[in-house]
Amino acid sequence: MRNIAVILAGGTGSRAGAGVPKQFRRLEDGRTSLEACVQAFAASRSISEIVVVMHPDHIAQAQQLLRDKAVTIIAGGSERWESSRNAIRHLATLQEEANILLHDCARPFVSQRIIDDVCRALETHEAVTMAVPMTDTLYKVESLKWKVESIPPRSEYMRAQTPQAFRLSLIERAYRLALSDPDGVAATDDCGIVNKYIPEQPIYIVEGEEANRKLTYASDFTCTL
């Protein structure tokens, strides 16, 4: 079964500063975050196709930047889940089952080990996510009051990363159910969509890496592997 990488690069990245979307900001090695993600998945023998989901205003810039790469670029939505939905709809037109790896462009340091382990897990699981153990103490706080309400045991929690990967038919069904929800779609990632709308579906965890961090603020761009 084909493994298709989807790089979600549709955000504007305003918190990263510099006046440009963070997918176009340069890392210390000179590459943009977008280039680094595409190169990582292109280097994997487990990946057969790459789709980049880009804000409509920046598609031309992405096409120029990736002109020598074998990628398909499609328009994203105003929310992350809308960009995932657009990619799923695009791939569903292929009329062929596949595995889809949804990866945030804000994580440009994804390793070959991670990609290979996720693809291997997809041989026996229909839903796979990346996560790393919690090392910091967690506080449950009173909403908007900045007071500690409780301190849950960190051994019961992990921090989510991407890629998050699924059988295409499974994630397509999950989004179809989400879009019919009268209360609207409310999830921060794709595993959240599956967990909420197909709760009986197990989600297998592949251990991530601290290096596979998310670039959010300007200071995150000053260090590399």
In a domain, 225, yes or no: no
State yes or no: pLDDT of 44 exceeds 70: yes
What pLDDT score does 38 carry? 97
Return all residues near 117 (Cβ < 8 A) that are at least 6 apart. Answer: 206, 207
In a domain, 103, yes or no: yes
What pLDDT score does 22 carry? 86
Q: How confident is the model at residue 203 (pLDDT cuts 50, 70, 90)?
A: very high
In a domain, 100, yes or no: yes
State mean pLDDT over 122-146.
91
Is the link from the previous residue into 21 a cis peptide, with omega within 30 of 0?
Answer: no
Mean pLDDT of the chain: 91
How many structural domains does the chain have? 1
User: What range does the domain containing 132 cover?
Assistant: 3-213
In a domain, 221, yes or no: no
In a domain, 175, yes or no: yes
Q: What is the CATH number of the domain that holds 34?
A: 3.90.550.10
DSSP-assigned letter for residue 198: S
In a domain, 109, yes or no: yes
Half-sphere exposure of 166 (CA within 13 A, CB side): 28
Beta bridge partners of 132: 159
pTM of the model: 0.91
> Tell me: the pLDDT tens digits for 2-22?
999 999 998 765 554 456 788
In a domain, 13, yes or no: yes
